[in-house]
Structures are given as structure tokens and as C-alpha cells.
Amino acid sequence: MYHIIFVCTGNICRSAMAEGILKSRWAACGREGINVSSTGIHGLDNQPASTTAIKISKEHDVDISQHRSRPLNFEHLNGADLILCMEKMHKDFILLFLPHLADKVFLAGAWPDKETSKSNIKDPMGGVEKDFRQAYDTIASHIDRMLPFLLAKFS
């Protein structure tokens, strides 16, 4: 089974939403064959997704209400086929400790295309609801862009 991991800072907003969105989109295609999870570099463990992230995801029929944060785990990352980070600092952090994963770690705002200065997905934590909506929409658009590549891989 192909394993995709989304990475952000606390794993209570961006990566949690990304995990939920991809799972939802994949299920809507009636497909199997992937395992989607998420984690955070900040080390939060077993915390629920932010209430605003849950609310906005639910508005899009994506349920992340049961999500619980997971701290970064090297064994978990080593078992991944694709690691999609929200910001360059997340990617750099992983590659600092696990340089052998360089061919699996990318920015979610770019993969499978080339990274640019606009490939980072801004963290809405500490912001207002509008910031969370913008983050959700940005993540969803990137997942919609990635989906054909993932579907082709499993056709």
C-alpha cells in the first residue's frame, strides 16, 4: 500500500486538513491502495484538530473531528512513499535528520512540479477564520492538482 504523509508544524490544522481532504477525494473516486496520514514537527501528541479547521472542513463534507495530532516519528517517515510538507522549513527539518529521504520529501504546494517561492502553504494558526478558509482552499486546490497524478499511479 502506498503511504502518503502530510507534515506541518503542530498537526492540528494544515496537515490534518490535507489528510482529511485527500482521504475524502480518494474515497469519492472509489479507489483504494493508499494510506494517508499526517504529523507535525512541533511534537504535539494526541491533540484534536483546531475547532476552526474542523468547522471549515465539515463545511466541505470533510470530517476531521476524530483527528489526533502525532509528533514527527522517524520510523513513520521512513515507511512513507511520499512526504508532503506545508513549508520549506518542514522539509528542511526532515532532511536535516533523514537526508536519505530526499527523493520522497516535497512541498505540498508544488509536488509533482518544481518548487517556487510560492510553494509554501501559510499557517493560519493565530489568525482569524478567513485565514483558515484560505488555508483550506489552498490545500484543497493543491490536492485537486495532485489527484490525477496519484490516480494515474494506481490505474
Give the pLDDT confidence of 14-25 residue by residue, as tens digits.
Answer: 999 999 999 999
Question: How far is the C-alpha of 102 from the C-alpha of 112, rounded, in Å?
Answer: 14
Report domain extents, the chain. 2-153
Q: Find the catalytic residue in 29, 45, 123, 137.
A: 123
Residue 68 annotated among the catalytic residues of the structure = no
Is 144 one of the annotated active-site residues of the chain?
no
Look up 103 and say whether it is catalytic: no
Dump pLDDT digits (tens) for 91-126: 999 999 999 999 999 999 999 899 988 899 999 999
Question: Is 150 strand, coil or helix?
Answer: helix
| Dihedral in degrees, nearest 10, Cα atoms 56, 37, 1, 27 | -10
Over residues 55-83, the pLDDT tens digits come to 999 999 999 999 999 999 999 999 999 99
List of residues 6+ apart from 23 with CB closer than 8 A:
36
**The domain defined by 2-153 carries CATH number 3.40.1190.20:** no
**Which residue out of 13, 14, 25, 70 is catalytically annotated?**
14
| 153 and 76 Cβ atoms separated by less than 8 Å | no
**Residues 16, 53: contact at Cβ < 8 Å?**
yes
pTM above 0.85, yes or no: yes
